[in-house]
């Protein structure tokens, strides 16, 4: 397993592009992305559990109900949610891809991100399709990553190379996500591609299992979006024997997928709206995995803890407080807490009570850009990791006039 360049175009047979078509007023920002596979690919997806869902999710779910897809189109600047003609617009986006590429409209994953409740005009998308498809290339992953951004300050892409059955396989992904991040299934928008051969059923199994320990353990602000979706396309062009059951090959595939998703989680958390720090809570020693996950995510979601991290204040009581109301079945008298960063580690709590520590040393540790909150829950065998960011003044500024 090694990191490589290329993003969603690292795997064989994938091309991508991103352009500005006119959905967004800022002409310097791309707002339309397209990813195309040379061959039809096995497809899997997970969707938001929010009852209010963007129309593209409904269309995508229908399109990949047979387990296959060949392209992904996504616009930014408008979420296509709560629109009377939303389904019609999403379907028309698929038809535009079909018209320009020859791919069946029913083999297109469609996604949108941006403001909720604003009418989405198909005209700029239609006008931009020729440029979008003409520019498809194996170097186009970065442009696609830029085109799906909203309040993100950086494009998020990663790729890995791994081996299955003696064949070299590649997997890459791009993501957007900065605010309205508190997934309960998947998260934000994430598009992953691979040339590994795997059946649709096993691909869905891999994705559905992975998100429980990655994207579902990520939170920026506690708001579950209406358009969250993670999709994976696997076109089989690496030439490995198709994975149709659990075993060593499936484990290797899962490891590659987890490498991609963990890194994207970290990128999203570190780029949270207004964020200055990436927070990672590692909870160990729980009697059950659920207790570890519940405790870790509660800490990451605590607005008080997030604010303390912004101020580099080692207010460990907020960690215990968050665990206490989380609902996790833990023995409070066994909890230990320490803060870690590139500057070192400071233990602040043992057996549920404070211990003497240097406030000056703690502040130096918490002034770093990446902070680990290490929580020991006892001597159980289970652990979990959650990701988030600090809460800053800029988060309110960004969301105070997000629509206007």
187 is catalytic: yes
Based on its alpha-carbon atoms, the radius of gyration of the chain, rounded to whole angstroms, reads: 21
For residue 102, count other CB atoms closer than 10 A to its CB: 8
Contact 41, 70 (CB under 8 A): yes
Separation CA 395–CA 116 (nearest Å): 18
Q: Report the sign of the C-alpha dihedral through residues 200, 141, 276, 370, in that order.
A: positive
The string of DSSP codes covering 57-117 is HHHHHHHTTTSEEEEEEEEEEE---S-TTHHHHHHHHHHHHHHHH---GGGEEEEEEEETT
Q: Which of 202, 153, 204, 200 has its CA nearest to residue 176?
A: 153
Q: Which residues contact 26 (CB under 8 A, 6 or more apart)?
A: none
Phi, psi of 175 (to 5 degrees): -145, 155
The string of DSSP codes covering 225-247 is PSS-EEEEEE--TT-PPPB-SSS
Catalytic residue among 187, 193, 194, 385: 187
With 0-12 / 13-18 / 19 or more C-beta atoms within 10 angstroms meaning exposed / middle / buried, residue 65 is: exposed
Separation CA 208–CA 185 (nearest Å): 8
Catalytic residues: 187
């Amino acid at each position: 397993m090694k990191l490589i360049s290329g993003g969603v175009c690292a795997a064989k047979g994938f091309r991508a592009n991103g352009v500005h078509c006119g959905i967004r007023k800022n002409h310097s920002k791309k707002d339309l992305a397209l990813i195309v596979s040379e061959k039809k690919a096995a497809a899997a997806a997970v969707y938001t559990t929010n009852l209010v869902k963007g129309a593209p999710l409904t269309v995508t779910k229908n399109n990949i109900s047979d387990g296959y897809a060949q392209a992904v189109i996504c616009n930014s600047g408008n979420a296509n949610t709560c629109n009377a003609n939303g389904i019609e617009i999403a379907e028309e986006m698929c038809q535009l891809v079909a018209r320009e590429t020859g791919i069946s409209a029913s083999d297109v994953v469609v996604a949108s991100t941006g403001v909720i409740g604003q009418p989405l005009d198909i005209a700029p998308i239609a006008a931009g399709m020729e440029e979008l498809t003409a520019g498809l290339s194996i170097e186009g992953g970065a442009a696609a990553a830029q085109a799906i951004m909203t309040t993100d300050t950086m494009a998020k892409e990663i790729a890995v190379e791994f081996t299955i059955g003696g064949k070299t396989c590649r997997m890459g992904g791009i993501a957007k996500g900065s605010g309205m991040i508190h997934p309960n299934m998947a998260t934000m928008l994430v598009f992953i591609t691979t040339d590994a051969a795997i059946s649709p059923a096993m691909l869905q199994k891999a994705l559905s299992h992975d998100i429980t320990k990655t994207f579902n353990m990520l939170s920026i602000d506690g708001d579950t979006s209406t358009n969250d979706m993670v999709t994976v396309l696997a076109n089989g062009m690496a030439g490995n024997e198709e994975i149709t059951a659990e075993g060593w090959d499936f484990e290797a595939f899962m490891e590659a997928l987890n490498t991609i998703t963990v890194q994207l989680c970290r990128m999203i958390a570190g780029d949270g709206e207004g964020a200055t720090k990436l927070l990672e809570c590692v909870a160990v020693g729980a009697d059950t995995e659920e207790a570890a996950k519940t405790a870790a995510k509660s800490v990451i979601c605590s607005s008080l803890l997030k604010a303390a991290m912004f101020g580099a204040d080692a207010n460990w009581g907020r960690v215990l407080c968050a665990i206490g109301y989380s609902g996790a079945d833990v023995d409070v008298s066994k909890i230990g807490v320490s803060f870690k960063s590139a500057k070192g580690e400071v233990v602040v709590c043992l057996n549920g009570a404070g211990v003497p520590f240097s406030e000056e040393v703690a502040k130096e540790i918490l002034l770093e850009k990446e902070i680990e909150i290490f929580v020991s829950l006892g001597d159980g065998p289970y652990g979990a990791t959650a990701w988030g960011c600090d809460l800053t003044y800029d988060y309110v500024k960004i969301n105070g006039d997000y629509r206007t």
